[in-house]
């Protein structure tokens, strides 16, 4: 049976929504030094807004994912789109550091969380073939943010104060994300199930995996641990590399171009790793990618010139962006479709907790040592931990997968 053509519309919409959501949140690293200069707030304090955002994403991801399992992804991403754009606009009017941290950190983070897990779960349900590639293409859309939203943010901040710039970013996200949200549909298999009577959440048919079993399984716990260490590896380098380049004497617009090179390389990495995942298996490609990511983070310690930044950013972006979609593929290969939002939300929660380490750690390290070297050395250690975690992952046995295939 041929798969529906509309599945590629879902991929395109998911990529665009992800690009705008990630771009809106990651405008802050571009604004970081300007916000500090105009307000007198500390780099650590401003960076902490990102940490709060990642924590909000962490605890919001599983909740939004579970809600999308229940009511479908469209209303969830629509609410998230409105919340994200509205929060960016409110953050632009914050008059104190605490208010900025709460508005930008908490509410923007919750808004972004409503996009990632529901969309990844939705896309995996639309594809039986080319699944790794499809998820990677959605992730590639998210990776477009450094090449689109970040240069826009840099262009705005060169011409306006940070408040006006953030208001414009808020308007752009609303104008794009809210209409695109209406293109999202449930996967056909789940849409059909939604029209049928269902058992209570705590009950399962013979042989079916329950939610409690899924959450307690070694497969779920290892995926969460791996994603935590993986995101802890690249969080600090992503958030602070623009600022690090500026401390090396590189002008802001050129420093932001490093971010764009990283994002462009990430586009290729997502597609390449998706193809490799379909061909060689998601786990094998994930383990190799995580090991390479660790040494890519460490390489930043040894660069200070623009050309060297470009080389390392291209390598690092290609790898870290490439490995991220593979978590959703492993989840889809091992858990029932009907709980995919919750499972991917849980792994995203762990990843967001890892991402939360980078902003505050980088700010603290720079404020303490006036150098970012220890940030990248620490990221290398986290990367090795992620590799070890991924290596221990053991897929469910065929008998278990067969029992759960009926619900997929």
User: Which pLDDT score, from 0 to 100, does residue 344 have?
Assistant: 86
User: Which pLDDT score, from 0 to 100, does residue 318 have?
Assistant: 93
Distance of CA 355 to the CA centre of its chain: 9
User: Which pLDDT score, from 0 to 100, does residue 302 have?
Assistant: 93
Which residues lie below 8 Å from residue 82, measured CB to CB, with a gap of 6+? 111, 174, 178
Which residues lie below 8 Å from residue 190, measured CB to CB, with a gap of 6+? 72, 125, 337, 338
User: Which pLDDT score, from 0 to 100, does residue 193 have?
Assistant: 62
Total-model pTM: 0.71
Query: How do the pLDDT tens digits run along the chain, 408 residues long?
Result: 456 788 899 999 999 999 999 889 888 888 888 898 888 888 888 888 887 887 888 888 888 988 988 888 999 999 999 999 999 999 999 999 999 999 998 999 999 999 988 998 888 888 877 787 888 888 778 777 767 888 888 899 888 989 999 999 999 999 999 999 999 998 887 766 655 544 444 444 445 778 888 888 888 999 999 999 999 999 888 888 888 898 888 888 788 888 778 878 888 888 888 888 888 888 899 999 999 999 999 999 999 899 999 999 999 999 998 898 888 888 888 888 888 888 888 888 888 788 878 777 888 888 888 788 899 999 999 999 999 999 998 887 655 444 444 444
Give all domains of the chain, ordered by start, each with its CATH number. 8-187+209-397 (1.20.1250.20)
3-state secondary structure of 350: helix
Tokens of 155: 């262009």
Distance CA(94)–CA(170), nearest Å, equals: 14
Q: Which of 67, 139, 112 is nearest to 318 (CA)?
A: 139
User: Which pLDDT score, from 0 to 100, does residue 254 have?
Assistant: 87
Tokens of 288: 């190799």
List own/partner pairs for 185-188 with CB under 8 A and 24 or more apart: 185/6, 185/10, 185/72, 185/74, 186/72, 186/73, 186/74, 186/122, 186/125, 187/122, 187/125, 187/126, 187/337, 188/4, 188/126
3-state secondary structure of 210: coil
């Amino acid at each position: 049976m041929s798969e529906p053509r509309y599945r590629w519309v879902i991929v395109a919409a998911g990529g665009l929504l992800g690009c705008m959501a990630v771009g809106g949140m990651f405008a802050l690293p571009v604004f970081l030094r300007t916000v500090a200069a105009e307000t007198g707030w500390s780099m650590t304090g401003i960076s902490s807004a990102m940490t709060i955002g990642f924590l909000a994403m962490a605890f919001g991801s599983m909740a939004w994912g579970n809600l999308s399992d229940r009511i479908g992804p469209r209303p969830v991403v629509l609410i998230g789109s409105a919340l994200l754009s509205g929060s960016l606009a409110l953050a632009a009017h914050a008059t104190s550091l605490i208010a900025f941290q709460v508005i930008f950190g908490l509410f923007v983070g919750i808004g972004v969380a409503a996009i990632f897990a529901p969309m990844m779960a939705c896309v995996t349900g639309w594809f039986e073939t080319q699944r790794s590639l499809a998820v990677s293409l959605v992730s590639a859309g998210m990776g477009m943010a450094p090449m689109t939203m970040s240069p826009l943010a840099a262009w705005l901040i060169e011409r306006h104060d940070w408040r006006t710039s953030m208001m414009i970013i808020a308007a752009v996200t609303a104008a794009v994300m809210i209409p695109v949200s209406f293109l999202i549909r449930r996967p056909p298999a789940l849409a059909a199930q939604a029209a049928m009577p269902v058992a209570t959440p705590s009950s399962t048919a013979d042989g079916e995996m329950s939610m409690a079993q899924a959450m307690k399984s070694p497969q779920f716990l290892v995926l969460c641990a791996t994603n935590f260490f993986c995101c802890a590896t690249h969080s600090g380098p992503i958030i602070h590399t623009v600022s690090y380049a500026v401390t090396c004497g590189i002008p802001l617009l050129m420093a932001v171009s490093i971010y764009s090179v990283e994002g462009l390389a990430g586009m290729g990495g997502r597609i390449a790793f998706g193809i490799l995942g379909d061909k060689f298996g998601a786990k094998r490609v994930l383990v190799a990618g995580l090991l390479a990511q660790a040494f890519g983070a460490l390489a930043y310690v040894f660069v200070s010139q623009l050309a060297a930044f470009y080389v390392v950013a291209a390598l690092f972006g290609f790898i870290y962006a490439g490995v991220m979609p593979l978590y959703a593929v492993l989840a889809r290969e091992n858990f029932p479709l009907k709980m995919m939002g919750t499972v991917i939300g849980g792994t995203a929660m762990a990843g967001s907790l890892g991402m939360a380490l980078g902003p505050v750690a980088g700010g603290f390290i720079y404020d303490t040592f006036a150098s970012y070297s220890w940030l990248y050395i620490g990221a290398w250690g986290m990367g090795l931990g992620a590799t070890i975690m991924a290596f221990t992952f053991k897929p469910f046995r065929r008998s278990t997968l067969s029992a759960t295939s009926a619900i997929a």
